[in-house]
Chains A and B, each alone.
Chain A
Amino acid sequence: MMKRDLRFSRRKLLKAIGAGVALLPLIESDPADAQCLAGGIKRLYILAWPDGMLSSVNSWSAAGTDPTNWTLAPFQASLAPYQSDLLLLNGVDYKFIKDMPGSGERTGHATYPGMLTGSFYMPLATTSTDVAGGPSVDQYVGNKLKTGGYGGLVSLNQGAFVQSTARLSWSGAGQPVIPDLDPYHVFTTYIQGNIKTPPSAGTPTTPTTPSQSVDAGAPPVDYKKASQKSILDYVMNDLNRFMNVVGTADKASIDSHLTYVRAIEQGLAGVTGTGTGSAGAGPVTMGTGLACGVPAGATATKIAYAASANIPAIAKLHMDLAVASFAADLTRVAVMQIGDQGAAQLILSWPPCNFASGGANPGDANTGDVNGFHAIAHRNVQDKVTCDTWFQSQVAYIIGQLKSIKDPSGKSMLDSSVVVAMNNMRTGTHETTGVPVVMAGSCGGYFKTGRSLALPAGTPNNGLLVALCNAMGTPTATGTFGEAMYGGELTVLKG
């Protein structure tokens, strides 16, 4: 086998997609990049979309405990290549939504603040402003990994066509983590120029030369620009001074602000893999033994990320960027949202869905466009199945990408990772019980895959969150997650 550049090849970064869409950074992995990867790093990838994985006319895949004795439902056919990697759950209950105090909406649409936190939340005026009662599992795990010495991001939080302000991820009670909707921004902020080749004696790397650059566009944003350190030092001083004059409640906000600025600066300083690393923008440390990444000079052009029609491209870009970030060990946790908790204006205008905006809904009030995903979910019939099928293909895509990357031992990145695809309800009519989950990847042998489990009625989602913490090597002190009343780990996932 010929010797090859250990980084992701530049030509793959830049491919034109679709008429009218500019050049985009399509970051693809290649099985031949195997030697770049450190083996055994555990990673958590969460993918969420709303309005039910099911409709009234499709059924979840049959239960079975061996890949040979159960069959995927037709709408999940795209997952077939990965059946032995799957762990399907049917399903979990969002018990918090019924049990928590206060008044407010109690349907699946309102579950976002609790899906990943398992906590009672504070219902405010609307479901788009409800405030979570504790950290979400992605933030918990990401922060724990950093405390344990990991130098990358806490998490990479992305979204495609998220219009509502309802949030899935929370760094703590009342502290939402806002997803980045713009793949270009994710690229320039977290990836471009941020990947360094580790000083590893005897591992030659191909230098990036200007002649390799075939892409047009703005010069890379240079966060190492010397002035940044002086600027950020000032900002931190100023935040400290500011914190001293405001009241107690406001000090907490300013303290968060200070933490985020510090993270940017620490990124600039190129902190190494031990101790505190960057939790924000800026270069981050690569994992041990990792030699691949994105070329430092790579650039990308912008995509209209606010357009519903671009969702497939946006989602793919975000997932590609997450996989690249995993591969380069820029992050070990990623959360991706497609649509928001209602997705009224999300119109699946691409094949095989091909829905066209039909204008306002004639009958079903307040569901947005008559051919929007929300209205389709309300009708909850065959059109919805078409949508369900497309969403499953997105799960299949991220699984496939992770599986295609191999570490030096020959194991795939999927083997050491876990993918969790969740929804805020069971079908389009808002059920918060029996909500199905697609998991994939054993997380380094922690989960027993190749199974489709029919969970007992009343299984709280908290048990799944505990299992994710344990699988990632970051158990909670209490052995519970969110509300303790919902108990500990859903051990059946381990087999």
Chain B
Amino acid sequence: MKAQELWRSSLLIAGLLSAASIAACSAPTGGTGFMAGSDSPSGANGASGASSGGSGIAGAAVAESAGTIVMRRLTYREYDHMVARLLGDTTSPASGASPWTPDAAAATGFVSPNSVSNYHVIEYNQTAETLVDTALQAAAAGQNAGKFVIPCKNPTAAMETSCATQFITSFGLQAFRRPVAPAEQADLMTVFSTVRKADGFSFTDSIGAVAKAMLQSPNFLYHWEIGPTKPVPGSDGLAPLTPWQIASRLAMSIWESMPDDALFTAAQNGQLSTAAQVVAQAQRMLADPQATQSLYSFHLQWIFNMGFHVTDLAAVIPKPNSLLTAAAAQGLQTEFTQFLSSVYTPPGDGTLNTLYTAPYAFVNHDLAAIYGVAGPATGFAKVNLDPTQRGGIFTQVSFLAGIEDTIADNPVYRGLAIYTKALCGTIGGPPANVPGVTFKPGGTTRQAYDVHGSSACASGCHSIFDPPGFAFENYDGIGQYRTTEASQPVDATGTFSAPAISGTSGDTKFTFTNAVDLSRQLAASPEAQACVDLQWTRYILGRMETPADMGSLQLGYHAGAATAGFSVRDMLVALLSSKAFTYRQPSVGESL
């Protein structure tokens, strides 16, 4: 995710930082306190659907079913990855150096755009022109133009129609991510022949016009991918996704891109019709380097999008007079990405335990200094860290320094990240007009923030998420390890209860000595395991979970739990082969 929201709502944060009892203390947003507050009319309130009925993710087994499929526009990153594959263009027109005005994240916390604006349509129009013109030049010069391959060279007039048909079939399959339907084929041939004959374009330029048309087609720009045949709902009312749809959804979920040749072939040959076949493809795809794209996008949006505060890891501000130099700040995105790859790409074991506890990091020279280890003179290298000081993604500099933009550390952000992201808890909005935190001379961060506990107003929420934040008191605002602050020993101990989400065994009470200890307990807790299941489900379905998804959520959970340390990789593969992912309920108003 490039240059998304950098705006920070200070007052919201000021509210979260509320240090004193004040008259403006607002009422809780829901009937039963801040925790009950739903921030979204579309059911964004934690695991609202999933927790209904008392049979949650780790609860009594529910039969698998499926909800509706979400029609959505490609994200900017998907668009860029796809045009790289389709046309060999790696300039990232949508999210690169001259990015389009950003799309907003949806209620899921992930960018999954449904509507379209005039601005986008103009960009699609112009970018299709530019991309195809460039590809035409590349093709003419014998350079890589991706899947843009003109089938005939200087065809005779008699041959042109069959050559154009060949192009429409082959490039169309790629662009629409399914075979081109006969009516579309005819219309695209009309584009070719009109441009070729009436307008007098060359054969290759006329082929280019066909490609430009496809790149502006809804069949390219939206995830839907129905065709060439209509689905037939079964007696349960659910329609199985076509193999092409499954291939596309797999590619979008694992690669943030379109299917590769192997996946298209599998779809063509009907080899995506059993769960085992989908599992095999998903496993192959997760081991592919392209998986880094989705892993990065998912984890960045999951962990760093706290609504009021969205970190763009590519644009973290250096902190003056500290080791968080420009080079260190610029290295955070790579640190994060390489760590994710090491966890999920074999031989990485893909477990939540590794994600949350692995005592190593990938650092450049300046990041190594923050960790207090020797680092490479140039580039990045994996370094082992003291396992008593560091364990997993929440103890790395990318999280500790990236999630906040003050010089001092901020237990509130860190605690909220653990509570709302790792544990899927929900917190309502803060009251308006609350004062900031006051540091007493010689006092520690914790002492300053502990004032929350003495304010009746503030403690309502802060008692929930401050404690997990205090677990990180061993790290200052740039993520350097410390055992003392203001000449006093650091107190990183605490205790808090997991939010009651998703019908897990529930109410795990975390009692910890520090962040390494807490991270280890999180990885082992059913709540954090269920939460990662929920988050991936929201990401791959592009919507909030509904009761219909519960059986599949359970499938994912149990697949993960079958491996010591909870295999997120197995969980994800199970989700991708689940009914919620491979079937759908027809949408209201849809003609089947």
Interface residues of B (CB under 8 A from A): 3-14, 17, 29-30, 37-41, 44, 68, 71, 98-99, 101-107, 109, 114-122, 125-126, 129, 183-184, 187-188, 190-191, 194-195, 198-201, 205-206, 209, 212-213, 216-219, 222, 224, 226, 230, 307-310, 315, 317-320, 324, 404-408, 410, 412-413, 428-429, 432-433, 436-437, 477, 586-591
Contacts and interface: CB of A to CB of B under 8 A. Distances in A.
A37 B432 CA distance: 50
A182 B98 contact: yes
B408 A363 contact: yes
Given A110-B9, A237-B187, A280-B122, 4 more contacts: A124-B106, A163-B4, A163-B6, A360-B404
Interface of A: 102-107, 109-110, 122-129, 157, 159, 162-166, 171, 174-182, 188-189, 221, 226-227, 230-235, 237-239, 241-242, 244-251, 253-254, 256-257, 260-261, 263-264, 279-281, 302, 305-306, 340-345, 357-369, 374, 378, 430
- A-B residue pairs, 7 tightest by C-beta: A247-B587, A248-B589, A342-B7, A165-B104, A260-B121, A226-B199, A103-B29
Contact of B317 (A174, A364, A369): A369
Given A279-B118, A360-B477, A106 B432 contact: yes
Contact of B118 (A280, A365, A367): A280
A366 B590 contact: no
Nearest to A225: B129
Contact of B319 (A244, A281, A360, A378): A360
Contacts of A345: 6, 315
B411 to A, nearest CB: 11
Contacts of B101: 159, 162, 178-181
Given A165-B104, A231-B209, A264 B199 contact: no
Contact of B7 (A177, A250, A343, A378): A343
B472 to A, nearest CB: 15
Contacts of B429: 103-106
Contacts of A171: 117-118
Contact of A365 (B30, B205, B218, B406): B406
A109 B9 contact: yes
B110 to A, nearest CB: 11
A226 B13 CA distance: 54
A315 B324 CA distance: 33
A359 B7 contact: no
Given A103-B37, A163-B5, A238-B218, A360 B317 contact: yes
Contacts of B6: 163-164, 344-345, 368
Given A227-B199, A280-B122, A360 B115 contact: no
Contacts of A364: 10, 406, 436
A123 B429 CA distance: 11
A175 B115 contact: yes
Given A107-B432, A178-B119, A238-B218, A231 B587 contact: no
A237 B183 CA distance: 10
Contacts of B307: 125-126
A363 B406 contact: yes
A254 B408 CA distance: 48
Contacts of B12: 105, 107, 127, 366
A178 B117 contact: yes
28 contacts: A107-B9, A124-B107, A125-B39, A125-B40, A125-B307, A126-B105, A157-B119, A165-B105, A178-B101, A221-B129, A227-B199, A230-B194, A231-B213, A235-B213, A247-B587, A253-B71, A260-B121, A279-B118, A344-B7, A344-B405, A345-B315, A359-B320, A360-B324, A365-B10, A365-B437, A366-B10, A366-B309, A374-B8
Given A226-B195, A253-B116, A365-B404, A189 B9 contact: no
B98 A231 contact: no
Contacts of B217: 234-235, 238-239, 242
B425 to A, nearest CB: 14
Given A231-B212, A374-B10, A124 B102 contact: no
A78 to B, nearest CB: 27
Nearest to B38: A103
Contact of B184 (A102, A174, A238): A238
A230 B320 contact: no
A492 B37 CA distance: 41
B42 to A, nearest CB: 8
Contact of B587 (A107, A177, A250, A281): A250
B213 A242 contact: no
A264 B124 CA distance: 11
B195 A230 contact: yes
B439 to A, nearest CB: 8
B32 to A, nearest CB: 13
Contact of A366 (B8, B103, B222): B8
B126 A221 contact: yes
Given A230-B195, A231-B216, A281 B116 contact: no
Contacts of B591: 244-245
Nearest to B73: A253
A478 B6 CA distance: 39
A298 B107 CA distance: 44
A13 to B, nearest CB: 21
